[in-house]
A and B are shown apart, each in its own frame.
Chain A
Amino acid sequence: MYLLFYISGAVAILATVMTITRLNAVHALLYFVVSLLSIAVIFYILGAPFIAALEVIIYAGAIMVLFIFVVMMLNLGERAVEMEGKWLSPGMWIGPEILAAILIAEVVYLLSRQPVEVHAIQYVEPREVALALFGPYLIGVELASMLLLGALVGAYHLGYRKPKALENPDADNTDATRAAAGGDLVRAGHDRPAGAA
């Protein structure tokens, strides 16, 4: 059990170091996903399977999809085509693949010896978490909901693109880009260096 913990910890640290040393954002995101998955395995070993599931769903699912979406959105344009060719070189996914294979082997091993398992550290049930969450931490839950609502409104407001007549006239070099983009958020930044650079 301790060996598994240290292996997944080593995978997490390795993936994190690879994350911050990549020059390409997409490669870094790949390593970051592997890091999150290894942290989820650590949570499972530490006796918090509910939190491990939440980590995989919310972090590795939602937040990473958001990151990847934005990175891909910023890179649109015709120069993205030859960049895709560079990104899809087979050497780039070998590193994350090896780390993820280590994690999969650990999880399969853990699940296979589940009936006879004695947790090294005691198991905290999700029921206790829920009782604590909605008992003494009820104010915190309300504050978290207010925070999420504020983030929703804020992100919508920041992401909203004004109509052309209301636009800020001083950003002269970006107006051409906006006209070319047609107010479409996804296509913004399209053929930017060819246009107004």
Chain B
Amino acid sequence: MGEAVKQGKTIIIDPVTRIEGHSKITLHLDEDGAVEEARFHVTQFRGFEKFCEGRPFYEMPSLMARICGICPVSHLIASAKACDALLAVRIPPTAEKLRRIFGLAQVVQSHALSLFHLSSPDLLLGMDADPGKSNIFGVAEENPELARDGIRLRQFGQEIIERLGGKRIHPAWIVPGGVSEPLTETNRDAILSAIPDALRIVERTLEWFKGRMEHFREEIASFGNFPTMFMGIVKQDNGLTFYDGKIRIIDAAGKVVADALDPTRYFDYIGEKVEPWSYMKSTYYKPVGFPDGIYRVGPLARLNVADRCGTPRADQELAEFHELQRTAVLSSFHYHHARLVEMLYCVERMEQVLNDSEILSPRVRAVARPNALEGVGACEAPRGTLFHHYKIDEQGLIRWCNLVIATGHNNLAMNRSILQVAKHFVRGNHLTPGMLNRVEAVIRTYDPCLSCSTHALGQMALRVELLSPSGELLDQVERTG
């Protein structure tokens, strides 16, 4: 991991701030001071695939939820679906609907965290703003309504998760075979009553965001604006979904590369590669190979592969989103925009599902013994397609586990995006906070979730050093903790 840092001129950004998890970026300069290589290093190691071996399969949803403090629900869903496959059961329809609501609520709170808490300082104050103001305090001073809206939307999602799952973080409500408790009428009505306010907030923020886009033309042109494929799960009618469906892959021109792929056969078409300089695996589309099989997942990809949302307001916004580019929408800057459209869809879709006549049914769990020794569960997490793949023995103990995490799908694209931004904005031997921030900001567009361990000891400091080939300090930018 440290080898490349010792060769040539190297700029190290460590840690990358305002993302979920711990990472660093290295930029490698040539003799003229131009950026020739860039790498995104994930410096933490989690090891869930290994230490769950030997555990009873029915513990997996709760164990896997511990992977992440922001999107535990996605891991719960993917894990429970893998366990459903081990049980070889079809879960009750109401349980599936309740899982959908749970997942949609999580997408809202996760997207709100990314957009309002982590990226809105850049979007509101600009990429060259005083680093001391690029935080929630700066946003609160400049646009308090925006800051309040972010808090309210997060609360909206978290309160639904708490109402359904009993707690906001690491709820264990989703279980193999369905969910542990049915929805009460009180909780349904409480969630429904909060929906109009959530819709107003998302629509207000969408209008604000669209008005801000003209200030970021250079960033739109250079933030991960290159051709790749895009992958996501879509419904059978090619509509947007987060819970279940088929895998669809399109190319940069918007043409379908593969359709109706079975998510439980992901290993037939997705390859995984380990790089020596990062703990995060890179995935690629097998028929094209590594690294040309690069593709993106997450909000931008989902809106690129989906033909429709299936809810009225989100469908209008999706049509407008598709107008951004005649081909697939390529710039990763538009992840922000896509996140807002998805939040709109999630709130509308929740209302539809909550009004389903069977939503209060007490039949929410299928009970069975293991009937298969291998199971795959897949869903769309806030950051992209998520796969959980387990193998068990006759006693129901986990013998093998593979997790393909959403952020890993974007690893190749994130690295290429950093290089594009650095080549465009980094000049010679002089570093500026604005340059540094743009290199970080392009990573934030993907909203990577690296840690999943949300506790942090102390505050993070940031120092970027520009070293000569001989190790001489040429310049540095420091952000105190």
A and B: bona fide binding partners: no
Residues in chain A within 8 A of chain B (CB atoms): none
